[in-house]
Amino acid sequence: MKISMSIAKKRIATVWFSFGGFLFIIMFIQTLGEHYGAKVNEAWSWFLPTIFPTLSLIIAVLISDAKEINNTQKYVDKFLFHLTMIVSIVYLLLIFLVIFIDPLSPNISNIELMKLSGLGLGPFQGIVIACLGVFFSKQGTQN
Amino acid sequence: MAPQAQIDAANVSIEAAKTAGADRYAPESFNAASEALKTALTAVEEQNSKFALFRNYDASKTTLASVATLSTKAVEETTAKKEALKAEVNQATVDLGAIIVADKELLAKAPKGKEGKAALEAIGQEIAVVETVNTEVTAGVANNEDILTLSDKIKPAVEKAKAINSELTDVIAKPKGYRNPISQTKKEDEAFLDQDSLEIADSIAASTMPHFPWPPPKASTTVKIPRNLIVKSNPNILLSEIAKQFESILGKAGYDQISYYYFPSGFAIVSQLEQINKDGTPKSEESRWNNKYEKPKVFNLESYIRALFTAQPGYFRVIAFIFTSKPFNQSDKTITKETGDFLIHAGSTVLPKKIFDIPFSSDYYCMALIYEFKQVTINDRPTLVDPSTVSGKTHLVNTKIWKELEK
């Protein structure tokens, strides 16, 4: 079972840009509302590295694809696509959870929560980037 | 960009002032410089924490510039103070020498009874100690030793020599058996009614009780409690009775812990640090006495969204009731929440009753100083609210203290 490489890439990019953009807007509104008080720097220092390296990778691949002269249709294994998609969504949901669970956790500050989540998110981000790397670097096969 | 060069320069000027001894000789100016530096650093930190585009260091730069001026002033004051102290100490050694001579003459004249002999020998030893101090201080001045230390050394010696002089004069002048009335236990039990006695009571209180900061630190708001609410139907009420009355009133308003402090010409009652709402009403019992910021509780979607997107400040309060006959101004110094919290532990648990068996005459008044602190988020440090958005009276009304006073 295979799926068109360009469609797969677009779907993954859509997921990352929608979630990433939404979380960015949330963080921005929180910053304007002084939700993080004096530790706004720490909050952004946690958030930006969780999303932007992957977004940069996706943008680079999409630009590179757009420049490619040989536009022959390529296909990629559906399992690899689904795996990458699921890992990405779970990772983004975890980030989502860290931000949205904060008002419900009375005994821990938002910054502490972010730092604590880093222990799990860090290694998980490694898995996500590995999956995305493998997926995007696949040349695909012609059907 | 943060004004790092100016911060470094300010640090250097503070260090130079400290090396000159300004922290000891001109503490007010030195503290003003240190405070200015602290304020500037806090402002810089505050700006650093903002989003890069919103940063503005103008205020910090102005404050940093004032640090150098204040440090220079502190150094100049130090030099002047050293000179003045030197002259003062020189004069004190000369005066002390004269008093010692007089003491020795009086000692020789004093009657030597059966019991008096040992007492006179003890006095002779005290004169010898004072004389040794005088010799050491004279040598210290000649050797350019620290003049402040020498000044601190000579002053009690002069006082001691004067006390010996006065004691010996009394012994020679008064009939046998005469004793100083204040040192008699019987007399201590009597109410102090005249002006001299009030001063004595004040000095006893000053030496036996912990002191409330003087001048009192700037409060968020104040309120003078009307005399009729305190005196009620007893115009001869004593300060000690008022203290009891307030203990009961504060207890009924929920304040189980209070502390007493000495305050010039009176005393102060300080309430426990409590968490309050923005309008000055106390928080629910479970949160009220928690001295740490608590995140607001989420109970519906609206409160969740508010908690998710905005800062939810926490408010804390300490109330100090000052009973005094002395007019006072508040200082420019602000206290921190930690200091406010510390006041409940550092004070005396009871008021020494006998000392304050003084009528609450028309010279006395009661002023409530309300220190309110605001912590914007769990990530911020609490700061003094200046001024409070709630009036002093409203604070007391909302704590039910006013209602209890009116009963």
pLDDT at position B294? 82
pLDDT at position B195? 58
C-alpha to C-alpha distance for B294 and B39, rounded to whole angstroms: 27
**A16 pLDDT exceeds 90?**
yes
pLDDT at position B191? 41
DSSP labels, B300-365: SHHHHHHHHHS---EEEEEEEEEEESS-----S----HHHHHHHHHHSBSS--TGGG--B--TT-E
Asked if residue A68 belongs to a domain, the reply is: no
Residue of B nearest to A44 (CA): B51
Complex confidence, ipTM: 0.84
Q: Quick check: B297 and A34 CB within 8 A?
A: no
Angle between the A5-32 and A40-67 helix axes, to the nearest 10 degrees? Answer: 160
User: Tokens standing for B28?
Assistant: 């007010």
Asked if residue A71 belongs to a domain, the reply is: no
pLDDT digits over B106-119, tens only? Answer: 888 777 665 567 77
Q: Quick check: B379 and A29 CB within 8 A?
A: no
Enclosing domain of residue A9:
2-59+79-137
Which residues of chain B register pLDDT less than 70?
Answer: 112-116, 170-201, 203, 353
**A83 pLDDT exceeds 60?**
yes
C-alpha to C-alpha distance for B298 and B8, rounded to whole angstroms: 46
Asked if residue A67 belongs to a domain, the reply is: no
B residues 331..360 contacting A (CB < 8 A): none
Asked if residue A13 belongs to a domain, the reply is: yes
Cβ of residue A11 closer than 8 Å to a chain B Cβ: no
**A122 pLDDT exceeds 60?**
yes
pLDDT at position B179? 39
Which candidate in B377, B380, B381, B383 is best for mutational testing of the A interface (most A CBs within 10 A)? Answer: B377
Q: Quick check: B379 and A37 CB within 8 A?
A: yes
pLDDT digits over A92-114, tens only? Answer: 999 999 999 988 887 788 899 99
Asked if residue A65 belongs to a domain, the reply is: no
DSSP letter, residue B378? T
The pTM of the whole model exceeds 0.80: no
Q: Which of A33, A105, A109 sits opposite B310 (nearest CB)?
A: A33
**A141 pLDDT exceeds 70?**
no
pLDDT at position B183? 41
Cβ of residue A102 closer than 8 Å to a chain B Cβ: yes
Q: Domain count of chain A?
A: 1
Asked if residue A109 belongs to a domain, the reply is: yes
pLDDT at position B102? 84
Cβ of residue B45 closer than 8 Å to a chain A Cβ: yes
pLDDT at position B187? 45
Query: What is the pLDDT averaged over residues A18-43?
Result: 92
Q: Which of B48, B304, B376 sits opposite A37 (nearest CB)?
A: B376
C-alpha to C-alpha distance for B137 and B158, rounded to whole angstroms: 12
Q: How crowded is residue B34: how many other Cβ atoms within 10 Å of its Cβ?
A: 21
Cβ of residue A40 closer than 8 Å to a chain B Cβ: yes
User: For the ranges A66-70, A131-135, B105-109, B238-242, which has the lowest average pLDDT?
Assistant: A66-70
Chain B nearest C-alpha distance from A106 (Å) = 6
Q: How crowded is residue B280: how many other Cβ atoms within 10 Å of its Cβ?
A: 23
Cβ of residue B2 closer than 8 Å to a chain A Cβ: no
Asked if residue A31 belongs to a domain, the reply is: yes
Asked if residue A66 belongs to a domain, the reply is: no
